[in-house]
Structure formats: C-alpha cells, structure tokens
Structure 1
Amino acid sequence: MTSVDLDTQVRGADLDRWLSSRFVDDLQARADLIALYAFEAELVAIPTRVTQPLLAEMRYTWWAEQMDGVFSNTPRKGHPVLEALTDLVARHGLERSGFDALIEAHIGRVHKQPHDLDAFFTAPMQLAVQILAGAGYDDAVRPAGQVFGLMQTGQEREAKAFIPVANKALKSLPSKAFPAVAHAGLSRSAPESVKRLQLFWNTVRGRI
C-alpha cells in the first residue's frame, strides 16, 4: 500500500478530515496527516470486521504492541500504516501517550464504555496540529477538539453552542495549522458539496 493508497483509505473512511487535508499545500505535511488519519481509520474499522468483543480487544492489543516499534523507529516491515506512522512520529517528535490513550479508548468502546472524547477527538487533533505547526498549541486546539467530539457523537446542539469558545481559542493558531481543525464543526449529515464549501469558507476566515 503506497501513500496514494493511504489517501484513498482515508477518503473512504473519514471524508471530513480528508477534505480538510486538501487545504494543506505542503505535500509531505499532507501525507503526514493522512498517515495519522489512516492509523485512526484502522482502529475504527476493527469492530466492523469482528463480532466478538474479545476478538476486537485482541486486535487493539496488537496495535498497542506495535507502538513499541513505532516509537523505537523499528516498525513492522511491510505494514504501510505503521511504517508511515513511524516516520512522522520521528520527524515531528510526537509523544506516545496520545496513541496509547486512543487505543485504550477503543477497547473501552468495545466493552460499551462511554466515549472518551479527549482520547478520541481532542488528542488526535492536537497531534495533527503539531504535525502542521509544531508543539505549543494544545490549549488553542482543545475547545475545537471538544466541538468535534460533540458533533461526532450526535450532540450537535451542544457542539454549535460551544463553537464561539473554540473560535476564540483558535485565534492564536497559525493559519498553516488550520486544516487540522477546519472540519470540527461539520455536520455529519451534510452532503459532500456543502462540506467542501463550508471548509473553504472556514479556512478563509480561520473559524470553524
């Protein structure tokens, strides 16, 4: 699977963030975002491939074990997502905690635990911003991550009410990092054409 294949994978699994990534001009940075999103897509897909919670947990445990290789620069050979993830982790100095927390949150969901919105949505968004603009913007991104989490879990009214808080925090975010957050306020039910237009307008204004 090549970088083009990862791009296709993310487009099919996570249209909103794929569309946002189109606003990243730097092709390497865009590919790095796609690698992160492809990793998340792999985790999201597990419950659709196995029916038993124990089997799903075993697959998540496998991914958790693979993080040892990712963060020691010795990824599982021949696995394009792990190889791409290892490369971007090394180049951007990403910390492991967010990846481990995301896997644990998925295991929790398999066992019917409530969504850990920080692990599922906020921390990955903070990692995406670090890829595009470096470290130091976690606080600026956190409210947008909360909006994204609320939107994705069907709490659209609560999300929209929180958008002004998120936009105020995002004023300190560099414009080159905005594609990592531009999708936060998109309605899940909106057609692709509407999402494209909204993302363009969001990016021009620097607001979600």
Structure 2
Amino acid sequence: MTTLKTTLDIAHRNDAPDTDLDALVRRVDPDRWLASRFIADPKARADVIALYAFNYELARVASGVSNALMGEIRLTWWREAMEEIAAGQPARKHPSVEAVAAAGYPLSALAEMAEARMADLEAAPFETEAQVLAYVDATAGAVMMLAAWRLDPKTDLHAVQEAARAYGLAGLWRLKRAGVQRLPADWTQADVRRRVETARKKARAALKVLPLAAFPAAAPAALARAQTGGRELSPLETQVRLTWAVASGRI
C-alpha cells in the first residue's frame, strides 16, 4: 500500500531538488548567499548554506501548491523529516535534509521552522503587529539565530533578534510589492519603514556583543532600510552594503 510518506517522497523526487546547494542559494537567496561569502571557514560556510537552502525549501511551499491542504502535507513532510532524524532514523534522501542533518543544527528548531510556515498557507494577511513579529521571529529570526549559533555556539542569540526583525519586515514589504500580502492591510510603506528603523536602532546596540565570527549571519539586516525604499537594490549595491556591514560590524 502506498503511504503518505511514500507519496510525498515521490513528489519531492519529481521536484528534481538541486544537489548543488551553494548554487541554489546563490540563485534564490542572493542576500544571504553574499553575506555567507564572508564566512572564512569552508565547513561552516557550507553548513550555513545548508540552513539557507532548507529555509528556501520551506518558504517556497506556499507558492508551489494549488491549495492549503497540499501545502500542509508538504510542510509536514519537512517537519517529520527532522523528527525522524531526532528519533535516530536515517535522513530522508533530499539534499537539504541530509545537509542540515550533517551540519548538526538543533532538529527541534528546524521542525519548528517548518511548522511556522503553515502561516504562509493562510489567505488573509496578519491583523496585528504582534502576529507579524511572531511570524518574523519564527522564520527570518530562526534562520539568523541558527546561522549565528553555527558560526559561534557561544553567541547570545538574543543579540540578533532585532536584526532579524528588521530584515524580516523588509522581506514582507518586498513580498507585498510582489503581490503577496502578509502585512496588515492598513500598514503603509511609511509604517513598515518606521518599524524597520526602530528594529535597526535596537539591533545596532545589541550586535555590539555579537562575536565577530557570527556577524555574517546578521549582515543581511544592513539591507533592510534600503529594501523598504522605492526600488530593488542592484547586486553591486547589495555587495557594497554587506561588505561595509561586515567590515564595520554595524548594520
């Protein structure tokens, strides 16, 4: 008898997952990919890239399904993949699953990232600021915290929370410009920019205690203010801003 897991495994194989995770992240998440170039240790850089690839797989579910039920099934596949590894079972045959498992990330945190993406399947946008921030903390925040932890396990993860909020809010604004409304309907561009700037100011103080090795995890937040402007940054502008951020230790 064909089980649900078998059906989803077949579906994932049919998706032809990209085995070159660095090339994948470079294509689909250029901000984080460029920031990862400042990670000196090749193994640590590869592990952070694995996390970013995993995040992409979760983030793309909602746009790749025709209905919410199928999205729930796919996200459940990812959550259960992490739970199986935590239970001592072999990693499922998917490049991102195998890579994050080998990197040693806390599997419960990865499972929670998959669960948080269930919110992407809701048709209605968030209604309150509290809902927005809870979502950002569970998605962009989790990614930034786990990347910082991988680069320096002694990192105080609270140090990157506001940086992640700035970058996550900017990301939701960019989604709105692309036609995906997740922010509260009455939030204007000025409202988003004000909240991003507030988070940036808090982050600049908090990041002073961030270990130098972990800073590339937080560097994408240096793009947040510009990304809530009226245009997309060019690759060169993005690279310059990230280089300045890493060199100065400021966002």
TM-score, normalized by the shorter chain, greater than 0.5: yes
* Contact 2:152-2:211 at 8 Å conserved across structures: yes
Runs of 4+ in structure 1 off by over 4 angstroms are 1-4
Structure 2 residues not aligned, in runs of 5+: 1-15, 127-131, 174-191
Structure 1 residues not aligned, in runs of 5+: none
Q: What displacement does 1:69 show? A: 2.8
Residue correspondences, number: 204
* Contact 1:144-1:184 at 8 Å conserved across structures: yes
1:109 to 116, 120, 132: 120
Q: Could you tell me the percent identity over the aligned residues?
A: 36
> Pairwise mapping of residues 2-13 of structure 1 onto structure 2 (< 5 A)?
5-13=20-28
* 1:169 has 2:188 as partner: no
State the partner residue of 2:101. 86
Q: What displacement does 1:148 show? A: 1.4
- CA RMSD across the alignment: 2.1
- CA distance, structure 1, for counterparts of residue 59 and residue 33 of structure 2: 15
Report which of the two structures shows the higher radius of gyration computed on alpha carbons. 2
State the partner residue of 1:192. 235
Amino acid at match of 1:158: R
- Partner SS state of residue 167, structure 2: helix
- Partner SS state of residue 207, structure 1: coil
Change (3 A) 1:149 1:86: same
Q: What displacement does 1:136 show? A: 3.9
* Contact 2:140-2:167 at 8 Å conserved across structures: yes
2:248 to 201, 205, 208: 205
TM-score (norm 2): 0.75
> Pairwise mapping of residues 151-166 of structure 1 onto structure 2 (< 5 A)?
151-154=170-173, 155-166=192-203
* Contact 1:73-1:86 at 8 Å conserved across structures: no
* 1:122 has 2:122 as partner: no
Change (3 A) 1:25 1:73: farther
- Partner SS state of residue 76, structure 1: coil
TM-score (norm 1): 0.90
Change (3 A) 1:8 1:182: same
- Partner SS state of residue 62, structure 1: helix
- CA distance, structure 2, for counterparts of residue 96 and residue 201 of structure 1: 33
* Contact 2:35-2:242 at 8 Å conserved across structures: yes
Change (3 A) 1:88 1:73: farther
State the partner residue of 2:162. 143
* Contact 1:143-1:165 at 8 Å conserved across structures: yes
- CA distance, structure 1, for counterparts of residue 36 and residue 100 of structure 2: 16
Q: What displacement does 1:47 show? A: 2.1
> Pairwise mapping of residues 20-35 of structure 1 onto structure 2 (< 5 A)?
20-35=35-50
Q: What displacement does 1:165 show? A: 1.3
- CA distance, structure 2, for counterparts of residue 183 and residue 177 of structure 1: 12
